[in-house]
A and B are shown apart, each in its own frame.
Chain A
Amino acid sequence: ETGVTQTPRHLVMGMTNKKSLKCEQHLGHNAMYWYKQSAKKPLELMFVYSLEERVENNSVPSRFSPECPNSSHLFLHLHTLQPEDSALYLCASSQDLANEQYFGPGTRLTVT
């Protein structure tokens, strides 16, 4: 595996489900990011981790819970989501903050 991988690629979940999105980077980077991309809107930064510490939480609802167990892995735990949370969730990594970010393919989430 190379680059940044995300699983699953597609996810359909009900409003009462609990699921997790996984991101793994194989680049040796020390910063990881979660973004949300809704239709026809710019990317929204959700969370930033640097050296496994959360450095940014952009007023994201508590139904989204990130976890960074090590510098290569990033999770986004989802529970009791709303239909408006349906979007493409993108993970990215970089070597140090403010440097070029490398993106995963994204998880297309649909909340029914």
Chain B
Amino acid sequence: KNEVEQSPQNLTAQEGEFITINCSYSVGISALHWLQQHPGGGIVSLFMLSSGKKKHGRLIATINIQEKHSSLHITASHPRDSAVYICAVTLYRHYQLIWGAGTKLIIKP
């Protein structure tokens, strides 16, 4: 079993839909990261959080430390949101990131 599990692996939705991507982890962490990777490779950090909730534009990230679970939500989804969304965790008292396999999101117009 991977230490960081994401679901779903693939998600196709219509423009405007509310999107939820989930991440569960089994290790002690100091922070959880959500990142976005567009076709072509570049990775952009969306959120780094250790508790509660963060919001940036149409993106919302939440984390439940007790349940070792995080969600990334996209409101009013748009085709330009199509990308791979990756969850990663920073191990407690360490700097190394443990990466999830990613969720490929396609938003159709």
Once bound together, how far apart are the Cα atoms of A45 and B91, in whole Å?
14
- Chief secondary structure at chain B's binding surface: strand
Contact code string A55-81 (vs B, CB < 8 Å = 1, else 0)? 010000000000000000000000000
Which residues 25-63 of B sit at the A interface, judged by CB distance below 8 A?
Answer: 30-31, 33, 35, 40-45, 48
Q: Which segment of B14-22, B66-74, B75-83, B93-101 sits at the interface?
A: B93-101
Distance from A82 Cβ to chain B, minimum over Cβ atoms (Å)? 21
In this complex, the interface size class of chain B, counting residues with CB under 8 Å from chain A, is 20 to 34
B45 surroundings in chain A (CB, below 8 A): 100-103
Partner of A100, one of B2, B33, B102: B33
Once bound together, how far apart are the Cα atoms of A87 and B88, in whole Å?
20
Given contacts A48-B95, A98-B94, A100-B48, contact A41 B42 (CB under 8 A): no
A41 surroundings in chain B (CB, below 8 A): 101
A-B contact count (CB 8 A): 51
Which residues 11-32 of A sit at the B interface, judged by CB distance below 8 A?
Answer: 31
Given contacts A98-B30, A100-B33, contact A45 B41 (CB under 8 A): no
Which residue in chain B gives the minimum CB-CB distance to A96?
A: B95
- Listed in ascending order, the chain B residues whose CB lies under 8 Å from chain A are 2, 4, 30-31, 33, 35, 40-45, 48, 86, 88, 90, 94-97, 99-102
27 A-B residue contacts at CB 8 Å?
A41-B101, A42-B2, A42-B100, A42-B101, A42-B102, A43-B88, A48-B96, A56-B96, A88-B41, A90-B41, A92-B43, A97-B95, A98-B30, A98-B90, A98-B94, A100-B33, A100-B45, A101-B33, A101-B45, A101-B97, A103-B43, A105-B40, A105-B41, A105-B42, A106-B41, A106-B43, A108-B41
